Structure 1
Amino acid sequence: MRALITVVAIVVAIAALILFVQNEPTSDPAVTSATSEDLAAPTATIGLIDDARINNAESEPGNWLAYGRTYEEQRFSPLKQINRETVSELGLTWSRDMGTNRVQEATPIIVDGVMFLTSSWSRVFAVDAVTGDQLWAYDPKVPGEWGRRACCDVVNRGVAVYQGRVYVASLDGRLIALDAATGIKVWEVDTIIDRDRFYTITGAPRAAKGKIFIGNGGAEFGVRGYVTAYDAETGEQVWRFYTVPGDPSLPFEHPEMELAAETWKGGEWWKIGGGGTVWNSIVYDPDFDQIYLGVGNGSPWTRVIRSPGGGDNLFLASIVALDADTGRMNWYYQTTPGDNWDYTAVQDIALADMTVDGVDRKVLLQAPKNGFFYVIDRADGKLLRAHPFATVTWATHVDMETGRPVENPDLNYLEKEQWILPGPLGAHNWQAMSVDTAAGVVYLPAQDNPLIYGMSEEWKASGVYKRNEGGWNLGIEIAGIAQLLLNNLEDQPTPKGYLKAFDPLTGIDKWVVEIPHYWNGGVLGTAGGLVFQGDALGYLTAYNKDNGEALWQFNTYTSILAPPVSFMIDGIQYVSILTGNGGGDLFAGEPLPPVSEPASLTYGNYGKLLTFKIGGDAVLEAPTAVDRSIPEQPVLTASIEDIARGERLYGTYCGFCHGLIVRSGGSISDLRRISDASHDAFDKIVLEGLMASAGMASFADVLTTEDTARIHDYVRARASEDREVALGNQDEARLTWLQ
């Protein structure tokens, strides 16, 4: 094993020497990209994973060969050297600074002693899995301004390693094949059909049958979803499947679109986009030779705008089974017909063999955003179970005869705003679950996190909703969301986070651990009797999988979203995890009581890759707490009306990254605390793109100097209010200037 890694290091050194005179230094000193447009594709020597090897993954339990470890994506490790008896001796063996304060969400692939992973901005790393030493790195050089096009941070969830190559999808929509031994680029294709629209890719590609499968994101901005299969060797397109219909005046791209179009009625959804992006879960099933797509939300979210004549709006919020070779549909199941809440079905899909009602079945398992856990027969898409796994108020139950949820009419927000559970973060989001087939449970990171849903003031006033080409297109009220929250604060359900052992057949919790913050990390179960999870407070914890008792805990000092993985090299078992917060919860920002503050807010959001083993004795130094004092602000001369105007503009364009009511959650700049120099350069930053390379693009296409002046007034007003409270000069801060 060590000899193989030595070979990798030698090959990388030779490649670097060849490339020395061909490549300019990368702008990021932490990433030295081994790329060349001119070199012939190298002969594969490392990362020799193929279908047979993944199908027989149980024969090499020490490797983590695919995104969910196997094609079934159960994320349950058969390793048991680290177990209930030995976990107390678990310690850090090495750590690696990822060189970024942006979110980390990747699942590493570990094969033959090499760990392949991604970081923010779609950067790829190959490291020695035993020592953490870098073997090579690749930077796709995503333009910094592309960060504005990402709804939920500049994330990347990982690579596929297949037939000697590493496949990564970049935030700006490229699919790239790299040589696994050297990181040299072999080929690159543009997957985006319309570069005027705000498409992104954050998900990990999947590899099977000689193909690479990839989807995309961007529904919040107004795009049309699709998934494409590419030839793994050449990058040529094999097939493409659209998830929602396009312009009805044009021919259907494939027969399934004719079926889907019948369920969209009225409106001009294709002009806004329609949505239905597949930004996370794509799973290959070798038993049926089909691909399962987890399809996302509508664009806009509100169905009365998107499809005013009604209809289910296929294939939004659906699980779609396609023939892996042709891309033609075998069956579908829609979890949320006529989605009205951003209830994506893109959450992780797992495959299992289970006995259901006395019959042995091959089933699909998913816990999507809408709060119901689905057990579906993979042969034909028949619904077998649909139990709630978190607090659900939007629907009373799923009718097992029709397979449809029964909506709660009391929580229709068309006429009046309503607190609804789950909110758009879902009862479960992309964070990985782990399936323990022997115990008959799923270890699931769940949450109760509500939102006050209300129709857009623009639509309520005029009955017309105009697409915002440079911003989000939700259909709900966002510009005045702070006022909605405050007006209904007494009725807000308390946000909570949970780790639970959930029986998907009975709907019963075997055990539940409540976590003080709702936005926590993915899960790994192991044959050692343990369940590992990182949380928002920065702790990686090992729980007893039988009862949820915490047996071991390590303070990483950084909030965690990524899932742990486990592997074994030379007889030693390891557990690895990435730390770093952000992602889909940027908008919520600094939490209000009773939700606990995340570690990344206290100590800073410093991404790290941490690896543990029994007897590990490396030390992770405790960081210094971040100075969160707010500088003194100049005396405000702006009128209430001007500040209110700035508040609405901030809510429309700024809050999704910088946080609700100008309170950042720790990974993006807190505008209450920016320097005098940044205040002086406010227009240059916002309108001229002074910081575009760092991800803060120009907004000159949607904002004027008058607009930025009003936003600046609002930011300073909020900073002044919170500063006065911190100094003890007033009891409460003013949070909104809207009337």
Structure 2
Amino acid sequence: MMLFRKRASAFAGAIFAPLCAFALAGCSALAGDADPLSDPAAGEWLSDGRTYSAQRYSPLTQIDASNVGELGLAWYDDLDTYRGVEATPLYSDGVLYNILPFNITIAYDAKTGERLWTFDPEVPREMGRYACCEPVSRGLAMWNDKIIIATLDGRLIGLDRKTGEQVWSTRTFDNEKYAYTITGAPRVFDGKVVIGQSGGDFGVRGFVIALDADTGEKLWKFYLAPGNPADGPDGEASDPIMEMIRKTWFGDKYWELGGGANAWDSIAYDPENKLVFVGTGNGSPLSRYHRSENKGDNLFLCSIVALHAETGEYAWHYQMVPGEDWDYTCTSSIVSADLEIDGKQRQVIMQAPKNGFYYVLDRKTGELISAESYVKVNWSSGPDPETGRMIVNPEVRYGTDPVLVYPGPGGAHNWFPMAYSPRTKLAYFPAYQSGRTYALDPDFKAKPFRSNSGWGGYGPHQIDRTLALQKEGDKDEQAFLVAYDPVKQEIAWKVDLPRHGNGGVFVTASDLVFEGTTKQTFAAFDANTGEQLWEFPTQSAPVAGGITYELDGEQYIAINAGWGGGAAQIERGAGIELPRSPARLLVFKLGGSAQLPPLAAQEPVPPPPPLRASEAVVQRGAKLYADTCSQCHGDNAVGGVKDLRHMSAEAHEKFRQIVLEGLYLDKGMASFADLIDEEEADAIHAYLIARANEDWGE
């Protein structure tokens, strides 16, 4: 059911009316008099990046270096999930808006934490099967009197922001051909709500679509990868440029898995030049060998594509990774700023994507101004000084023999939001240095609705070499918070952090940088020096981007603490995940005195049943597990969303029902009867029993 919990008197009377005098930007949005997203009031946070510049910079200064140590918890809300919570909340007119996995949306009294309404779009839980890194949502949008959400199953929904009731709903895709999902936050620009989608790992054709934010009516659509040429034009805004795109792809089957190039997170806007900037993802399959005969740039993989906001027509593009081959998505934050470079003021956009380079581009033309690495990199020596095109190291175009490549697919900087301060003129983001061994799987066969990398398949003679190379790469592993000078193209300072997955960043005019860390803390740093000034134990690592807002003369800070997503899957798969609480929304203020309850004791791991299957069946199950289950449940059945080595006796007894009949659909575990039969399910079960017995007692 779609659930609404309303307290209209608290919302409309006690909060909304008095604050119209205080938060003029929010109220003008309701009246439709102006576009508040361009220049919101100081105490408001109306969009994912706070303003169209997406700098995540707040002009609030009440909390500063002299008193940040007095920050305490004002209130919190248990979110009733162990899934990753990656959303940046929004704030306006005394109300805080938040969105959870499966797109459950909640409005709060921002002073007390009282829930005002809850909306459940009833996303089919089986959609979680197609979300590479959990059924997360990275945020929501606000326009006039509406909150706009994008659902995992492809709907954009406009909600009445006073009541939480649905005003309009538009489906942006179906899943008949491709395993599309949406995990990114919708963005609103001048009355248009723009969204891409996820699914590149499972085989989809990327596109971005714009709807009227007031009505949900489709305005334009732009495909980011070519379709089957036999189908003719798409009838969309991308048609005039499609032939140019197609010339960069090779073979006669590249369209079968869609090609990829999904706009799965970052989308930004330049109101002066009326351009929408779209960051695109990896290819599908991930390896260019299996995708495009190991040839071509494969536009628009791992690029920023600029589109005219009114029509969706192509303006320019810059490709960060020609012929993308290593899962280097370029969907990290796209931030606008005006910088003085070589004595001239330049209108720029900036991005620090997974490939390890920091890019500064002219936002009107797409000209590359500069690009330098901020971690260890060997896939490229940098841009060609004449053309600006990235020079790819041919030695890392891997074949069947393993090659160590820097960065690894976890990325030097993933989706975790970046901030920029016009005061310090520094950008702030979490960085990760790592290497990964890559090799082709010569027996790879593309399979729709499954993860398709084309990697692996190491032969016996390659295993020792692979392990040796990976050991070498592991020695270089580092995680840190970076302050980066985009003009000098150098690191100004960095703070070492323990593991990959440190959270998004925001910065204030009092020169404080706030970030969630994998120490399971939320921390404040001096924006000029990196000195840590404050830290709060959160019981679960906050990976999301936080916000700050002002209400009744007090400055508040809000952050979702819900460890999950791709970085969490890596940690779970390594067996090093820390004990944690369920996800929570945490809100702080000076002098806050609320306390979190202690962590619950961990339940003991149940003993596994005896293994009765043959070694041949177990080995077959291992291969089926890797193809079908490892995306969510971890390599070698270690960790994952649910560690299947630790199944209860009941789960073992009902294994076929769970896997083939969807017995645990309400928990996000869909039926896989379309991919495997009873015999194959039994083989996977045998493999899991074997793994449970191997690791029992560790």
What TM-score, normalized to structure 1? 0.88
Q: 1:101 aligns with which of 82, 85, 91?
A: 82
The CA deviation string for residues 668-726 of structure 1, in whole angstroms up to 9 with x for no partner, is 211111110001111110111111121101111111222222222221222222224x3
Residue 394 of structure 1 corresponds to 379
Q: Which stretch has the larger CA shift, 232-241 or 179-188?
A: 232-241
Q: Which stretch has the larger CA shift, 506-515 or 612-621?
A: 506-515
Residue 572 of structure 2 corresponds to 590
Residue 649 of structure 2 corresponds to 676
Alpha-carbon shift at residue 230 of structure 1 (Å): 0.8
Alpha-carbon shift at residue 583 of structure 1 (Å): 1.1
Contact kept? 1:267, 1:308, Cα under 8 Å: no
Residue 403 of structure 1 corresponds to 388
Listed as ranges, the matches of 1:81-230 within 5 Å are 81-230=62-211
AA of the residue aligned to 2:629: C
Residue 517 of structure 2 corresponds to 535
For the residues of structure 2 that align with 1:133 and 1:197, how far apart are their CA atoms? Answer: 40
Contact kept? 2:154, 2:174, Cα under 8 Å: no
Residue 694 of structure 1 corresponds to 667
For the residues of structure 1 that align with 2:47 and 2:114, how far apart are their CA atoms? Answer: 22
Listed as ranges, the matches of 1:707-726 within 5 Å are 707-724=680-697, 726=698
Contact kept? 2:197, 2:206, Cα under 8 Å: yes
Listed as ranges, the matches of 1:632-643 within 5 Å are 632-643=607-618
Residue 624 of structure 2 corresponds to 649
Alpha-carbon shift at residue 633 of structure 1 (Å): 2.4
Alpha-carbon shift at residue 589 of structure 1 (Å): 4.2
Alpha-carbon shift at residue 288 of structure 1 (Å): 0.5
AA of the residue aligned to 2:36: R
- What is the DSSP-based 3-state SS (H/G/I as helix, E as strand, rest coil) of the residue aligned with 2:37? helix
The CA deviation string for residues 478-511 of structure 1, in whole angstroms up to 9 with x for no partner, is 7999968657543332432110111122232111
Residue 579 of structure 2 corresponds to 602
Residue 36 of structure 2 corresponds to 53
Contact kept? 1:353, 1:360, Cα under 8 Å: yes
The CA deviation string for residues 271-309 of structure 1, in whole angstroms up to 9 with x for no partner, is 111111111111111110110001111111111221116
Listed as ranges, the matches of 1:355-394 within 5 Å are 355-394=340-379
What TM-score, normalized to structure 2? 0.93
Contact kept? 2:202, 2:450, Cα under 8 Å: yes
Alpha-carbon shift at residue 66 of structure 1 (Å): 1.1
Listed as ranges, the matches of 1:66-77 within 5 Å are 66-77=47-58
Contact kept? 2:204, 2:259, Cα under 8 Å: yes
Alpha-carbon shift at residue 428 of structure 1 (Å): 0.6
The CA deviation string for residues 562-581 of structure 1, in whole angstroms up to 9 with x for no partner, is 01111111110011100111
Residue 597 of structure 2 corresponds to 621
Contact kept? 2:28, 2:34, Cα under 8 Å: no
Q: Which stretch has the larger CA shift, 172-181 or 543-552?
A: 543-552
Alpha-carbon shift at residue 477 of structure 1 (Å): 2.3
AA of the residue aligned to 1:393: N
Listed as ranges, the matches of 1:489-638 within 5 Å are 489-494=470-475, 495-585=477-567, 587-590=569-572, 592=574, 597-598=576-577, 601-604=578-581, 606-627=582-603, 629-638=604-613
Taking a change above 3 Å as real, the CA distance of residues 654 and 498 of structure 1, as seen in their structure-2 partners, is same
Q: Which stretch has the larger CA shift, 474-483 or 559-568?
A: 474-483
Q: Which stretch has the larger CA shift, 252-261 or 677-686?
A: 252-261
The CA deviation string for residues 28-83 of structure 1, in whole angstroms up to 9 with x for no partner, is xxxxxxxxxxxxxxxx99856776322222xx110001110000000011111111
For the residues of structure 1 that align with 2:395 and 2:447, how far apart are their CA atoms? Answer: 30
Residue 20 of structure 2 corresponds to none
Residue 419 of structure 1 corresponds to 404
Q: Which stretch has the larger CA shift, 444-453 or 478-487?
A: 478-487
Asked if residue 257 in structure 1 is aligned to residue 232 in structure 2, the reply is no
Q: Which stretch has the larger CA shift, 700-709 or 94-103?
A: 700-709
Residue 302 of structure 2 corresponds to 317
AA of the residue aligned to 1:692: L
Asked if residue 282 in structure 1 is aligned to residue 267 in structure 2, the reply is yes
Taking a change above 3 Å as real, the CA distance of residues 652 and 309 of structure 1, as seen in their structure-2 partners, is closer
- What is the DSSP-based 3-state SS (H/G/I as helix, E as strand, rest coil) of the residue aligned with 1:255? helix
Asked if residue 471 in structure 1 is aligned to residue 450 in structure 2, the reply is yes
Residue 8 of structure 1 corresponds to 11
Q: Taking every aligned residue pair, what percent have the same amino acid on both sides?
A: 42
For the residues of structure 2 that align with 1:394 and 1:184, how far apart are their CA atoms? Answer: 49
For the residues of structure 1 that align with 2:33 and 2:645, how far apart are their CA atoms? Answer: 51
Contact kept? 1:169, 1:201, Cα under 8 Å: yes
Contact kept? 1:295, 1:318, Cα under 8 Å: yes
Point out where structure 1 has 5 or more consecutive residues left out of the alignment: 13-43, 460-464, 727-739
Taking a change above 3 Å as real, the CA distance of residues 295 and 617 of structure 1, as seen in their structure-2 partners, is same
Contact kept? 1:303, 1:339, Cα under 8 Å: yes
Measured on the aligned residues, the alpha-carbon RMSD in Å equals 2.3
Alpha-carbon shift at residue 433 of structure 1 (Å): 0.9
Residue 19 of structure 1 corresponds to none
Contact kept? 2:610, 2:689, Cα under 8 Å: no
Taking a change above 3 Å as real, the CA distance of residues 479 and 156 of structure 1, as seen in their structure-2 partners, is farther
Point out where structure 2 has 5 or more consecutive residues left out of the alignment: 1-6, 16-26
Residue 3 of structure 2 corresponds to none
For the residues of structure 2 that align with 1:172 and 1:644, how far apart are their CA atoms? Answer: 35
Residue 281 of structure 2 corresponds to 296
AA of the residue aligned to 1:476: W
Contact kept? 1:105, 1:578, Cα under 8 Å: yes
Contact kept? 1:479, 1:648, Cα under 8 Å: no
Q: How many residues align?
A: 675
Residue 16 of structure 1 corresponds to none
Taking a change above 3 Å as real, the CA distance of residues 480 and 581 of structure 1, as seen in their structure-2 partners, is farther
- What is the DSSP-based 3-state SS (H/G/I as helix, E as strand, rest coil) of the residue aligned with 2:36? helix
Taking a change above 3 Å as real, the CA distance of residues 694 and 225 of structure 1, as seen in their structure-2 partners, is same
Contact kept? 2:266, 2:333, Cα under 8 Å: yes
AA of the residue aligned to 1:703: I
Contact kept? 1:5, 1:128, Cα under 8 Å: no
For the residues of structure 2 that align with 1:450 and 1:138, how far apart are their CA atoms? Answer: 42
The CA deviation string for residues 180-222 of structure 1, in whole angstroms up to 9 with x for no partner, is 1111111111100553321001111111222111111111111
Taking a change above 3 Å as real, the CA distance of residues 48 and 100 of structure 1, as seen in their structure-2 partners, is farther
